[in-house]
Structure 1
């Protein structure tokens, strides 16, 4: 009986060893797409106005969710994150990491994500750092974007906190597709976020403290994000 048990153990060990060897030599079928962001700084000055009406931005935070890259076949296999991500932009203009995802080999032509208002259950799966950052989005109401800065109307300067309640679905087609293959299995895409037009209406500066400007400002924010293939993460298209 002891000899039989020993023989069975040896057979099982050999089978596991063979499986491990076969698994280690199996060809790779997936790679990684990293997502970064780069902010363009701006001080907005009214054209032709010596009084220097301006908006200076000091902090920007978004709530992003449902981040995904899509192939030409409209696949959702490139889903990165369904739970919310609080992204505080690096206002120095340096490229910052947002996150990475594992995707099947393929050609990805579109980045999609939602800029979405905070929800009651958002903090469930968040890290302590993310929970701390999202608290401001529940203050008074539920918000999707918070922008802080100073506004000078030409006669006086005041601090402001602009809070958007709008949900913004982003579908950004990439001019250069992200091709993930066995030989080139790590690709980076960078979101380019420019605040230049957020508080601008043609040649006029929009007062961020005036509620009548909210619709225009929200629309400007919605249209201010682009995305590029950026393998070397320098904030410029490859």
Structure 2
């Protein structure tokens, strides 16, 4: 498919958008940027294709147990009637007085989209605090769509998020076929994969907050982070 695509610069030349009072220098730079944006779009799709083509991941053989708002649940229970399960592990362990603002930003964005996402996959949220704390924090944010679970034993967290049971985020995808559950993909970008001058982050960005800020003159900034309240 990639070989049949027109060069990005050629596609950019078809663009007829112009804005009032723009200079020739602006238009030349904008056309060059447009070609790069087309390449970025294509690279995102190439990465997604590679992700979908991964060989089968490791089979889940442990009987992980969680505590949800309706009581105890197994990993299989978290799938509901779907074949794919996303688990976002958020930073709200017993040692933390309040939830992580960054995780909260992610989750606040996803709240409105969960009804759409869950047409295709199951999406749940796991943290190490007791379920009562998770329910209380969820209610305080006014969230109604999140399915929150406590990993009380820490077995799942140590295997799929942090072997040291650290209070760090994790994003993992599992799939179920014929009664067998396997790990499909998990985020593996962290401090060791960060480029100079960047905060640790993965790609693509799961929070549109950063994608939106990337379109502005100020960009993301180097010392600004979302808060729990303003």
Whether TM exceeds 0.5 here: the answer is no
Q: Give 1 or 2: higher strand fraction.
A: 1
Q: Give 1 or 2: higher helix fraction.
A: 2
TM-score under structure 2 length normalisation: 0.26
**Higher relative contact order by CA 8 Å / sep ≥ 6: 1 or 2?**
1
TM-score under structure 1 length normalisation: 0.25
